[in-house]
Amino acid sequence: MNSKLIEALRLKMQPVAVIHTDDKPEDGLHFKEGSVRGCVAAMLVSSSKKNRLAYFDRKSYGCPGGGTGLGFGNCYGHFPIDCLLSTGSKEMASQMGPAGSLMLEGERFYKNPELARKWVDSLPMTDIPTQYVVFKPWEQLTEQDKPELLIFFANADQLSALVVMADYNRGTNQHVTAPFGAACQSILYGYAEAKKENPGGVIGFFDISQRSIVDRETLTFTVPFRLFQEMEANVEDSFLEMHAWKKLQERQ
C-alpha cells in the first residue's frame, strides 16, 4: 500500500503491522512449539529488516514476557520475573540450570523484587480473542488486511515527526506515552490505546537487554491502526511538507 506519511518519514526500516487472525499463515518466521528461549522483539526486527511475515500462537511465543506482550494473557505464571528484573535469586538460578545465569544477579532494572512486582501488576494485561498474532511488514500489507497496530522504527527526527502528527488533529498534547517494558511490550500498551475513544501512540524499545538488536538511534512508535489512518489523512498541508522538515531530511 502507498502511504504519504511513510514516504515523508524516509524510514530505514519498514513499519510492521500487528494482525490478529484465526487462520494459520501458510509460511513465515515462527518459534517451535514450547520454545522458551525465543525473542518476540527479535522477530519483530527481522520482520522489518528481512521483509518476512512472522506469526505466533499460545504454544509458540518464546519467553513469558513475549507471550504477555503479544496479548496471550499473563504468561508469567510462576516465573520469577520480579527477581529477574531486579536483584536476582540464587535459589531460582540453581533450579533453572544453564538458563539461570541471568537470574543469579538479576538485570537490576528495578531496585528490588517488590518494585518489579508492582510493575508487573501495572501491565495492561490483554487476552486477545484470536489464535494467532501476525507481524506483517508494510510492503506486504494489502487492502484486505485489518491490522490492530502499526509499529514504526524511527530515529530521533522521525520520532519527533510521529509525536507531532499524533496530536496534529487534536491539540491536546496528551496522546503519547513512553512506558518501560520488555522490548515487545509496546504492543501490549498499543492494545490498551486501541480501546480508547481517542487512542495515542506508544514510544518503546527501552529494554536495555534487547537494545543491541537495533541501531543505537532507533526507538519504536506503536500506534493503533485507526490512529495511523488519522495521521495519514493529515499529511497534506502539514509540517511534513514545510521547510523545517525538509531541512531535517537533508541530514538523514
Q: Cα–Cα distance between 163 and 248 in angstroms, integer? A: 15
**Per-residue pLDDT reduced to its tens digit, 80-122:** 899 889 988 877 767 666 666 777 888 999 999 999 999 999 9
Segment 137-158 mean pLDDT:
97
**pLDDT at residue 252 is higher than 80:** no
Cα–Cα dist 16/13, whole Å: 9
Q: In the chain, pLDDT over 70 holds for what percent of residues?
A: 96
Give the residue among 25, 4, 31, 39 at the shortest CA–CA distance from 145. 25
Residue 32 is predicted with a pLDDT of: 86
Is residue 1 within 8 Å of residue 141, measured between CB atoms? yes
**Amino acid 38: pLDDT:** 87
> 92: part of which helix (H) or strand (E)?
helix 90-95
The stretch 9-23 carries a mean pLDDT of: 97
Predicted pLDDT of residue 74: 96
The cell numbers describing 14, all together, are 519498514
**pLDDT per residue as tens digits for the range 157-208:** 999 999 999 999 999 888 899 999 999 999 999 999 999 999 999 999 999 9
Please tell me the predicted confidence (pLDDT) of residue 133. Answer: 98
Return all residues near 143 (Cβ < 8 A) that are at least 6 apart.
1
pLDDT of residue 33: 83
Q: pTM of the predicted model, to two decimals?
A: 0.94
